[in-house]
Structures are given as structure tokens and as C-alpha cells.
Amino acid sequence: MRKYWKWIIGILILIVIVWLIIIGNKPRYFNQVELSNDNYIKNKTEMKYLDTILSVGLNELQIKGVTIYVRGISIKKNLGDLELKGHIIGMGNQYLLEIDKVSKSEVISILSHELIHLHQMNSGDLMVTEKYVIWKHDTLSDIKSYENREWEIEAFGLGEKLEKKINDVLYGK
């Protein structure tokens, strides 16, 4: 009789493990959201949901009248302990956002960070050129290490808050 119990318990454990694997790999779909026409987003990546995430993020930041062209990342770079997975450049109301192919959960984090940079540039707080950076009306030619740049510190902090807001809209609270 004991022999059968071991087999039964083993089979039950196996069933639970298989069930957890199936549930864990189930794709998460966005809630149905109404996207505004306040901005223009041209997504040229394989990740067709990026425009939805960007639209929700821009709406949360109350940014209107910008154009964002999205494409795959063209440069691979390490920034200390971090690997560059996305970046945004531009000024005025036109921006180029490049992003690496990553998971849907990671992409929301990356886009939230980059949208904070867009907000910084759109408001005039941040301007980046080849030779210098203007941060809140202070011209900097000696750029600190990546993690010590004030605009990056701000983007990491505010990006986490924006990421939560985007997830709340797309997946519910």
C-alpha cells in the first residue's frame, strides 16, 4: 500500500508542476484601451505592441503633439554594469527611439525610462548634442558616469512610477 502512495504523490506533484508551467507561460493580453490621436507613433519593429505602450505612456505624462519613430537598436553598448537596451534622441516634437528586442514585461520598463527622457527633452530640461549636454540650463561638457548623471537618476526614479501607471492601464490594478 505504501508503494502506491509514493506513486500517487509523485504523479500529483508532477501534475502540479506541469500545471504551473502551463499557467506561467500563458501570454498576458492588454486591457482594451482607447488610444488618443494626440501624438504620432511609427513603429517599425517586430514588437507591434510598442505603439500602444508608448501612447499610454505619453497620455500618462500628458504629452501632446510629438512624433516618435521607433526602430530596432542600431548600437550595442555597455554602460558600466548595464547593457544599453533602448535610447531616445530628438528635440522639439520629433524623436527617434531605438529599442532592443526584449520581453513584453521588460519593454514597459525600458519605454517608461525613455519616455521620461522624452519628457525631459520636450520640456527643455535636457538637450543632448555631440559635444555637450544641457541639463536644466546648465551646459555640461564633462559628462559623469552613466549612473551618476542627474537626468538618468531622474529617469530611473520617475520611470518606475510611470511603469506602474502604464501597467495599471494595460493590465488593471
- Each residue's pLDDT, cut to its tens digit, for the chain (173 residues) gives 566 777 777 788 888 887 777 666 666 788 888 888 999 999 999 999 999 999 999 999 999 999 999 999 987 766 566 678 999 999 889 999 999 999 887 999 999 999 999 999 999 999 988 888 899 998 887 777 777 889 999 999 999 999 999 999 999 86
Structural domain includes residue 25: no
Number of domains in the chain: 1
What's the rounded Cα separation, in Å, for the pair 59 and 53? 10
- Is residue 17 situated within a structural domain? no
Report whether 133 contacts 83 (CB < 8 A). no
Q: What is the CATH number of the domain that holds 85?
A: 3.40.390
User: Whole domain around residue 140: which residue ranges?
Assistant: 33-171
